[in-house]
Chains A and B, each alone.
Chain A
Amino acid sequence: MDRSTAPSTLPAPLGTRVLGLLWQNAALLVVILALLVGLKLWVPAFFTVRNMEALALSVSTVGMVACTMLFCLASGDFDLSIESVVAASGVLAAVLINATDSVPMGIAGGVLAGGIVGLVNGVLIAKLRINALIATLATMQIVRGLGFIISKGEAVAIYNDRFFPLGTGTIGPIPNPVFITLLCFLFFGILLVRTTLGPNTLAIGGNAEAARLAGIPVDRLKILIFTMQGLMAGLAGVVLAARMTSGQPNCSVGLSLDVISACVLGGVSLSGGVGTIHGVIIGVLVMGAVQNAMNLRNVETFYQYVARGLILLAAVLFDQIRRGQGAGLWRQVRRWFPVG
């Protein structure tokens, strides 16, 4: 693969662009195809309509949050607090709905609370220059704590059943959470590719100081990105609460790392500057598909953790080789196996 040419948002004939995209991702497509064939052979029931629906539903939370995590990672930061935001916003929505008997109030409250956490994260990181790992690690614990405080440590059952269709209803054959996730992918995909936010985010991730000196309002964009991230985590939390018909303060532990894994699996660079929405969609689906298949085969949870870790490692190594940074790795492999 030629490392010296960058995918560009600038025009080239459509045919060339499609061919180029296929070629650039040829190796990836082969891997995915192999994966699908493997799944089919291993789990015959995998490709049934019912299972596809279950799979889509199971990745909806990760999918929603991954949309904004893409921006976070692409700008060179990341956000660990979202797993707590998902739990706490669900709890908050539940408490608000029970207290006011107003569904819109509960939804708005949960989503906005997430946005506020994101705003705080953004200000801590962009203005007070606290390292993103530390800042969001702190807010992760604070918000988790707040979730327990609001719920007094227990799951909050929701009594107003007008709230549940958000999580359990369908539009045509598509479950609502899946539909919302699809809309999010579309919305943030457009944001990334068609608006100035996209290239500016990638420029910040690629070289923040250069972006700043070029006149891009780096601090303001970072705050915006984290606020979006908080809002999306809030939304994901509210939808999850509707699916579970309750607000659970101890849910979604480890979700942040799942989301980051899915993004990295989809080719988003952890050091910033690189990322695509189709990559993220693929990453989310691959992670979900593997988990789903293991569930169908009744693989024990302990082994599932191991398998997911291995897949992530394999994906990152594969990506490095694809980008031509795997030269060191190849040299090493050739030293061990000098034949060929």
Chain B
Amino acid sequence: MGSRPYLEFDAVSKAFPGVQALDSVSLSVAEGSVHALIGENGAGKSTLLKILGGVHAPDAGALRFGGRLQSFRSTADAFRAGVAVIHQELQLVPDLSVAENIYLGHMPATAGWLDRGAARRAASEHLARLGEDIDPNVRVGRLPVAQRQVVEIAKALARDAKIMAFDEPTSSLSDREVERLFEVIASLRRDGRVVIYVSHRLQEIFQVCDSATVFRDGRVVGSFDSLQGLSTDVLVSRMVGRDIRDVYHYSPRQTGDARLVVRGLVGPGIPAPLDLTVARGEVVGLFGLVGAGRTELLKCLFGAVTRQGGTVAIDGQEVRANSPGAAVRAGLAFCPEDRKKEGIVPERSVADNINLTARHSLARLGFLRPRKEWENAERHARLLDVRAASLRQFASTLSGGNQQKLLLARSLSCPVRVLLLDEPTRGIDVGAKSEMYATIARLAAQGLAVLVASSDLSEVLGISDRVLVMRGGRIVAQLPRSAADEQTVLRLALPDIEATPSGTR
């Protein structure tokens, strides 16, 4: 620390059709330090990472490593120059072993013969340095997400990457796994590497980073050489350009009769009979660590996986066990966690995506009514403020937050009584999060019963009237808002140490 900068962006600009993604951005990071990039989605962080990783070339400005000018024509060029970008969606081949992944493309070989033994030994060494005891012969597809990430880091180490950039590394990790990751990052710092850290979780940035750059609309709006004495509020107000008082938009509300009543539910991932109710106008937060069974529970309720026992009723009417279609007709709506895989149809228009669920009821005798569809799409896109240049553009071109709004727009264009949201704000920026919370509060005020599953504890505590804590597929506690504080909930959510070895579900 305090040494001269190794990585330097010098007045880098990059424009895409219609957007100035980066506008003369300068920043520098010294060897042996961890630098945070902060900003809302679309602020320019990802573009910066892509320039660093050789995906895009800058329109103007220079990128220097240790004073030497770099110009990458491909990701391979960047890799050779010592850059490793560890993405949110990990870039591993699930069907290959850990060792094969770590040495993908540069297996140790003698005279053309692969030396798998050497690869395994070296892979083990790198993994051990990261404090992780993973069998290098195991197929990557069988590892939990946290360990896959470690494999990805080991892959970077195996290539001796000098600069490592982490893009939202903790979004799918439990608290304990986050701790481990931070230890790894600390050791990278001790090695004298340059670490770039991108996250929406500001507390983490204070824990792990030395310095930070704040972006807004492609420009640098704050540079901090040290984070000592700063508060998250300062960073947030820089990011959004205004004060955020009440992100959660919570106000005490009157709840009505039970709308969603679940009795004795058993299904995949839900081993023991489970009961729960959500009332009219109530927001219930479902908190649990990764693998606690949150997603499984929601999918079971919705009929996306077949439940093996128990009943789910909405306003007294029972819902069939194994049909999302029947669930929709009964007034259930479900927004899945993995928007790309389970939510949007990427290569169809935004309008088509919004109409996916309602199309059936908008049509007459199976014949489409384009005008009705268009009106429906427009109305709900406006209602939920889906920001798209045109409703005709592909859904894949929307940002994460807007894709989430699209899913809500789709759900709400049918008569909805109970809304199931799985990680509704995962990977979206502070501004969009706040809008999502406002929407949830508005929907509850309209009489919907809302069940929100999340691994973001402050979010759960912030928006819920009631908090359910899950562990091992069971609901282990129910707390009213007044009794739910961070420590209580977390203690309840943590597995008994001897009961569940880490890494397994």
Footprint of B on A, CB under 8 Å?
A: 3-6, 8-11, 193-200, 202-203, 206-207, 209-217, 273-274
Contacts and interface: CB of A to CB of B under 8 A. Distances in A.
Contact of B357 (A3, A11, A202, A214): A214
A39 B417 CA distance: 62
Nearest to B373: A10
Contacts of B302: 213
A214 B355 CA distance: 10
Contact of B370 (A10, A203, A207, A274): A10
B359 interface: yes
B342 A196 contact: no
Contacts, number: 115
A206 B346 contact: yes
B366 interface: yes
B357 A215 contact: yes
Interface residues on B, range: 35 or more
Interface stretch (B119-127, B321-329, B477-485): B321-329
A6 B363 contact: no
A273 B368 contact: no
B394 A213 contact: no
Contacts of B397: 4
Contacts of B356: 203, 210-211, 214-216
Contact of A11 (B343, B348, B367, B370): B370
B351 interface: yes
A194 B363 CA distance: 10
A206 B348 contact: yes
6 contacts: A9-B352, A203-B345, A215-B328, A215-B357, A216-B356, A216-B360
A91 B360 CA distance: 40
A2 B346 CA distance: 15
Contacts of A207: 341-342, 344-346
Contacts of B304: 212-213
A217 B368 contact: no
Contacts of B323: 217
A159 to B, nearest CB: 42
Nearest to B359: A196
B393 interface: yes
B343 A6 contact: no
Interface in B407-430: 410, 414
A6 B348 contact: yes
Given A206-B348, A273-B345, A217 B366 contact: no
A214 B370 contact: no
Nearest to B304: A213
Given A9-B368, A196-B366, A217 B349 contact: no
B218 interface: no
Contacts of A199: 348, 352, 355, 359, 368
Contacts of B245: none
A8 B391 CA distance: 10
